[in-house]
């Protein structure tokens, strides 16, 4: 009998296999009926559900403790240990968060039925060793033309084609490594050029500042020189004016011709020489 047949036959019924008359239609009765009719093994009498793992001997059975990542296989016996006597049920389907099982007396007094559960209180599950489905063995000898299924995207691909793809993949990997090396070298060159440009830019700025400072100093010196020259020009202009004024002395007294009186000419010459010497000294 298969699991589906077992569920269809006893769903909605109460079953009793063995035990005390004061404890009829218990969860362990359903478990023992399953062990006897589906697994074809002797029943486990006078045992609470929580104690089934210790009463079902190896190598026929294996107890697997519950973990957050594990999902039980179809048809295993689920064991709860959250009460003194525990609970036992037959796993149908589920995920890591919840599952459905074939239960009796859960809730208390209920007949056989399919029940939804979380893993709260689940201690683990019991599997029958020979009930585990093993993948078929491939006996055919493999060669280069043997096709391997690679899923919907690739389909069935010959081994020689897979080898070729792997070689191409290795070549591509090597090529990528070469380009990576070239890229890293270019980055180094770029950084070097950036540093050189920065250095030259700073040097150019410094030279510009030096030239500006020199220009400002030159303008300042020229301004000083021009200022001194202007002062000298004023003095010279005053001296020349004085000389011109003294020339008028030649016209004094009786309106006599300037060039007719030697003493006036001598005085004028003497004053001219004096002021010319003074001008040369100042200049």
The CA distance from 68 to 112, in Å, is 28
pLDDT at 260: 47
In tens, the pLDDT along 69-116 reads 999 999 999 999 999 999 999 999 999 999 999 999 999 999 999 999
Domains of the chain in sequence order: 3-131 (3.90.1720.10)
Measured CA to CA in angstroms, residue 132 lies from 42, 72, 90, 97 at distances of 19, 11, 15, 22
Q: Judge contact between 73 and 91, C-beta under 8 A.
A: yes
pLDDT of residue 122: 97
Angle at 211 between CA 205 and CA 213, to 5 degrees: 105
| Cα dihedral: 186, 188, 193, 198 (round 10) | 140
> With a cut of 70, which residues of the chain have pLDDT below it?
131-141, 152, 226, 228-233, 235-236, 238-240, 242-271, 274-275, 277-283
**Distance between CA atoms of 108 and 92, rounded to whole angstroms?**
20
What pLDDT, on a 0 to 100 scale, did the predictor assign at position 255?
A: 47
Residue appearing with tokens 């990542």: 69
pLDDT at position 135 is 46
Say what the pLDDT of residue 119 is.
Answer: 97
pLDDT value of residue 12? 96
pTM of the model: 0.48
């Amino acid at each position: 009998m298969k699991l589906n047949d077992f569920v269809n036959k006893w769903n909605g019924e109460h079953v009793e296999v063995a035990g005390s008359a004061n404890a009829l239609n218990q969860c362990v009765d359903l478990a023992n009926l399953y062990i006897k009719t589906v697994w074809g093994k002797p029943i486990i009498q006078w045992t609470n559900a929580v104690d089934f793992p210790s009463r079902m001997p190896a190598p026929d059975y294996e107890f697997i403790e519950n973990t957050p990542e594990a999902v039980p296989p179809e048809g295993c016996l689920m064991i709860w240990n959250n009460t003194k006597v525990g609970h036992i049920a037959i796993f149908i389907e589920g995920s890591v968060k919840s599952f459905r099982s074939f239960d009796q007396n859960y809730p208390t007094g209920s007949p056989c039925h399919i029940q939804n559960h979380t893993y709260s209180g689940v201690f683990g599950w019991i599997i029958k060793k020979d009930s585990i489905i093993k993948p078929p063995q491939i006996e055919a000898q493999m060669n280069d033309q043997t096709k391997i299924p690679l899923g919907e995207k690739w389909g069935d691909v010959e081994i020689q084609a897979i080898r070729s793809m792997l070689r191409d993949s290795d070549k591509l990997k090597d090529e990528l490594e070469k380009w990576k090396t070239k890229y890293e070298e270019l980055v180094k060159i770029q950084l070097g050029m950036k540093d050189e440009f920065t250095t030259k830019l700073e040097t150019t700025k410094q030279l510009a500042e030096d030239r500006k400072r020199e220009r400002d100093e030159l303008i300042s010196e020229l301004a000083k020189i021009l200022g001194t020259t202007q002062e000298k020009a004023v003095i010279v202009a005053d001296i020349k004016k004085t000389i011109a004024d003294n020339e008028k002395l030649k016209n004094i007294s009786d309106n006599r011709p300037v060039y007719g009186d030697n003493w006036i000419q001598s005085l004028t010459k003497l004053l001219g020489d004096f002021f010319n010497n003074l001008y040369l000294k100042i200049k």
